[in-house]
Structure 1
Amino acid sequence: MTTLFETTDLDAAEQMLTSTYSAMRFTVSGDRHLARIARNTVGPVELHHNTFTMQFHIEADPMRRLTMGRVLGGSFSYRCGSERCDNEPGDIFLLARPDDPYQSVNIDVDLEFAVIDPPLLAQVADAGPGRPAAAFRFTGFHPISAQAARLWVTTYDYIRDNVAGTAAAREPLLAGNAARLLMATALATFPSNVIADPSIEDRRDAHPVTLRRAVAFIDSNAHRDVSPGDVAAAAHVTIRTLQLAFRRHLDTTPGAYLRRVRLEHAHRDLLAGDPAHTTVGAVAARWGFASHSRFTAHYHAAYGQAPSETLRRR
């Protein structure tokens, strides 16, 4: 569901920005004053589209959340400590850091961005051996490469267009998958201190017992919105160990194995469904598949027919 706020009242705009993001001081120049803030929730992540038809300066307290996105129009500059970032249309940015205050200058700016609570990143990546989730830290405000920037745009647009604001966003598995996809993309897009390569301990612990624990957990909890972090915790290992164990012993990934299990559940639902009341789209969304075409492709590869054919066999 989309939450929309729009006003030409500067006091109301400042109050909305403060309640939505963090306490801030708002200084406006000129006589054009339009602020528009649209928000969608996708699982634990929010997608925002903010348009400001005015020139203004902000001094803001720490947001305590991560904000990253794209400039669609206007100009958007901000300073965090001694670091300054100037952004123009098309630029991908990470706004400040959760614990740092910042200042920004905005001229007729049009932005779309994701808002993420930092601890959620522990669902998709390890901070490193012996390091708590709080040790996660992004080390730069712009993408590591042009390819990484394109990946962010593609992923964000896909989730915005296919999940956010649709009935599908009410399905816990689908919304959770979409949110974690965006979080994983953020880690792949912006420089950080996250350690991706398996350690010696990870390699040692990626044994068959780890795999059996993980598989048992997935098989029993595929109907729940589980993350790689949940599976790793159930197997008593790190996410890197979990990934290595699946590659080493099953030549797949934890995510692919979970998708296969959920595909089996979708298959059973289609077999038991009534074509008069059951739709392929509803079954796909229930089991975490946002894209009808991708669900159909996975289903056909597994069962040799389209899901609609299975449903009509009743």
Structure 2
Amino acid sequence: MNRFVIALGLSLAGLAPLPGVATAADMITAARPAPAVIHYRYATVDGVKVFYREAGRKDAPVVLLLHGFPTSSHMFRNLIPLLADRYRVIAPDYPGFGYSDAPDHTRFTYSFAHYADIVDDLLGQIGATNYALYVMDYGAPVGYRLALKHPERVTALVVQNGNAYEEGLKGFWDPIRAYWASGSEKDREVQKGILTLDATKFQYTDGVRDVSRISPDNWLQDQALLDRPGNNEIQLDLFYDYRTNLPLYPQFQKFFRDRKPPTLIVWGKNDKIFPEAGAHPYLKDLPDAEMHILDTGHFALEDKLDEIAPLMNDFLDRTLLK
């Protein structure tokens, strides 16, 4: 007879377990994986304290999670435990985001080039010399700039609504393009509408079929950090600097063609910021990429974690553990 059935029967009868036979509770507990231990750490990089989340064995393959706007490593809080049993997972906050320092924009350069350098220096400090990249929103230009610096270090890509093609910049970007063209204070002021609570909530809920799956903690936490004194100017500097990513698109695409990193694309098709049109051009340069177009919006992890995490684990297991 099955040992679990024997143990359960003895337990229900109120009898002591047989010698050498585990209790039903012991067997149930043993079947459950131990919860992941997540560390919340700081490192000083270029004179600022950079916060990062880390989990998993130090000797495991590294998965680097790079967040988007207006959030932080908080966006990966539910994904990290689902990867940490086999991977060393690292998720930093860029300066001006999350729990990293946010020095005044007149004393610190807020740019995507600087962010890539900071992430690069952080990884050097903590001994992460090779890594799979998860890139989303701002994480795409940060991650792809990092890839241009060290193409040999990138072991795989997971792309979630992270753009590298002109086709992925539609009407949402028109007011920002006007700001890029003029650099004027008037066009800069227009961008402040993106920094409001309504705009932050929109990014989490627009295009989502079941909004009850989206925690309000997301937009309330993000907005509290956006509303810190001086943070508006940081974000407006970054909106303007985003223009410097577009001339690098051909280099990003060349990296894809030359290095052919194993790639998984999981894309929320209802995203108005980085729409589905930005997903398909990846296949021109990465024809072997695995693509999954999901019925959700910008922050796909919030309501599609149950789909994305299994896809990622299967992909990473085949790619990094072979």
- Shorter-chain TM-score range: under 0.3
Please report the TM-score for the alignment, with normalisation by the length of structure 1: 0.25
Please report the TM-score for the alignment, with normalisation by the length of structure 2: 0.24
Tell which has more relative contact order, 1 or 2 (C-alpha 8 A, sep 6+).
2
As a proportion of its length, which structure holds more strand?
1
